[in-house]
Amino acid sequence: MIWEISRVGFRGFWQTNRQKLLSLLSPNQKKELAQFVRDYEAGDIPADLPYTTHFRGQYFTPLQVDQPLTEIREGDLYFCLEQHLVMVQGNVIPLTVKEFEIFSLLILNPKRVFTYEMLMDLVWKEDYTYYSRKAVNNHVSNLRRKLRVSPDLPDYVKSVYGIGYKFEEK
């Protein structure tokens, strides 16, 4: 597929495979793709630059080599946004994409409370439902368990009862 895109270009590939590709996408993915195509055709995205996603649906130009990393150190905790790296007491913590996105929002906005609705909108890009609240709770529970590598460590992710979650600096 990549060879075909490079051979015929994005426009040629899209025109040839449009129906096949659209049948595989969810409604949200179709909206994101449509926005990307509109931006691309309007010339808002240079064709020669690589793009990646940070949070779903938000494409951006990758950081240049000379730009500093977004790093946070809080006691035994180390966080680097660009490397998608979280370490506690020198141990790399393997997080899923959703866990990392949730943790990124919390740690980059310390003491700010993120409601369940905000997390669903910013991480999942979906409307809030009762099932969604349970999904957020499950991901945060797994995140807390992974961050707590020893019993003497603080709880970095704090619950705000009935509202949501926040990152608590020590």
166 contacts 114 by C-beta, under 8 angstroms: yes
Q: Rounded to whole angstroms, how far apart are CA atoms 19 and 79? A: 41
SS3 content of the chain, % helix, strand, coil (to 5): 45, 20, 40
**Can you read off the two tokens belonging to residue 161?**
């009862």
Q: Dump pLDDT digits (tens) for 82-134.
A: 889 999 999 999 999 999 999 999 999 988 999 988 888 888 876 666 567 88
So what's the pLDDT on residue 1? 41
Q: Rounded to whole angstroms, how far apart are CA atoms 136 and 144? A: 12
Residue 7 has pLDDT above 60, yes or no: no
- Residue 89: count of CB within 10 angstroms of its CB: 13
So what's the pLDDT on residue 107? 94
Percent of the chain with pLDDT over 70: 61
Residue 67 has pLDDT above 70, yes or no: yes
**Can you read off the two tokens belonging to residue 146?**
């992974």
- 8-state DSSP, 57: T
Query: Which residue in 99, 93, 158 sits closest to 123, CA to CA?
Result: 99
Least confident of 11-15, 49-53, 76-80: 49-53
Q: Rounded to whole angstroms, how far apart are CA atoms 51 and 3? A: 17
